[in-house]
Amino acid sequence: MYIWQRPEWPHFHFDSTAALADLADAHRALGELEGRAHAIGIDQANQVTLEAFSKEVVATAAIEGEALAAEVVRSSVMRRLGLSEDGVIDRHVDGLVDIVNDAVTAINEPLDQDRLCRWQSALFPGGTSGIVRIAVGRYRDHEDPMQIVSGRPGREVVHYQAPPSDQVRSEMDRFLAWFAATTPPDLRAPARTSTPLDGLARAAIAHLWFESIHPFEDGNGRLGRAVMDLALAQHQGGSVRLYSLSGQLLTSRKAYYDQLNQAQRGDLDVTSWVRWLVQQFAAACRHASGVIQSALLKRAFWDQHASHLTQERSRKVVQRLLDDGDGGFLGGLNADKYMKMTGTSKATATRDLTALVSSGVLWTAGAGRALRYYVNVPGWTHGVDQSSTAPPADSSAQSSS
């Protein structure tokens, strides 16, 4: 029995006490992320937003098995954010970017049938999914069952079957009425009443409810995540979006589908689903916090070593080491790699590297042909056992005194 076939449908409920620790952890992760965003300043925060926005668009498509070119998505996002007018224009990509942008910025606009239909139309600007013509800009109306199926023809596995098409409008009316009634009070129409509901739990339930109805012929997954994005943006009050929940769900794609499937085949107690999705939200926030923390470390590094990095070739190499992160530069830097990256001679490479070590920009491990150079960022170990070799944390101060 699917959840929409149960007598108590659609009266979802969850155990707030059982979910309390997960909700508290997620709210804390969001608060820490927003605090770090304030610390890096508006310019770098905008860069983090650009990356998170682009990642969200690429990931929500990838969850459905659709690969979008990252550079095309980035160009489209930059146009939407007013950062550039250049880049390749792709109507399909632009449509998905418009949906994500509308969901996270137009938080005061009601979520209604018209808005959802416009979103779905934006996904399929040519009126087709691949080469198959589909119903665009309206709820599905086909008589065949709406099923989520995998497997080869003749050996299909039905994971879920949604309500019949003739029930979709009434089901969506109930869903949209609930979404409006549970909108945060400062965004809600004065005539609406609301039952207090945690904003993260609301987003989880909204996504499950929408996916369970599956109101459109195609695009329901991307639209359902946009609905969730809208609920999260309303919870945050429209503050800058710094994380990508779809990016996190993509890393847990199988578990994401498994959790949805279990929730859609269970009863109306969705505690497990809420807890799981809230945990994914916390993980997305922590990943974004790590990105910001890395940006802070890099900025502090450049501030400290600006006077030691006056040569363009050295700056280029150090920037590459910083971009690759802690241990990301495979095998560490040696003189041969420095020569290839800068086009210098062995003597120049050795002289440059020696100067960078003496000024504290780099530190070394090993000896002879095994000598390796690592960028000296506090807390970065690069996977090197430092029991006998430690980075010269104070060497830059010593050299400048």
* Domains in the chain, CATH or no CATH each: 3-294 (1.10.3290.10), 309-400 (1.10.10.10)
> Whole-angstrom Cα distance, residue 52 to residue 361?
30
- Is 168's pLDDT higher than 90? yes
* Residue 392 pLDDT exceeds 60: no
Which pLDDT score, from 0 to 100, does residue 396 have? 38
For residues 148 and 145, give the distance between their C-alpha atoms in angstroms, rounded to a whole number: 10
Give the residue with greater pLDDT, 265 vs 401: 265
Question: Taking residues 271-284, what's their average pLDDT?
Answer: 98
The pLDDT of residue 22: 98
pLDDT value, residue 39: 77
**Range of lowest pLDDT (62-66, 246-250, 294-298):** 294-298
- Lowest mean per-residue pLDDT among 96-105, 207-216, 291-300, 310-319: 291-300
pLDDT at 105 over 60: yes
Could you give phi then psi for residue 297, rounded to 5 degrees?
-65, -40
Whole-number percent of the chain with pLDDT over 90: 69
φ/ψ (deg, to 5) at 40: -90, -10
Q: Bigger pLDDT: 83 or 158?
A: 158
Residue keyed to tokens 């860069």: 47
Which of these ranges, 38-47, 122-131, 197-206, 308-317, has the smallest mean pLDDT?
38-47
201, pLDDT greater than 60: yes
Q: Which one is predicted more confidently, 330 or 215?
A: 215
Mean pLDDT of the chain: 90
Query: What beta strand segments (E) does 83-129 contain?
Result: 128-129
- pLDDT in the model for residue 42: 59
| Range with the poorest average pLDDT among 52-66, 73-87, 155-169 | 73-87
Separation between Cα atoms, residue 294 and residue 316, nearest integer Å = 18
Alpha carbons 4 and 171: distance in angstroms, whole number: 9
For the ranges 41-45, 135-139, 154-158, the maximum mean pLDDT occurs at 135-139
Q: Residue 264: is its pLDDT beyond 70?
A: yes
d(CA 338, CA 375): 13
CA atoms within 13 A on the CB side of 283: 14
Q: What pLDDT does residue 239 have? A: 67
- pTM equals 0.81
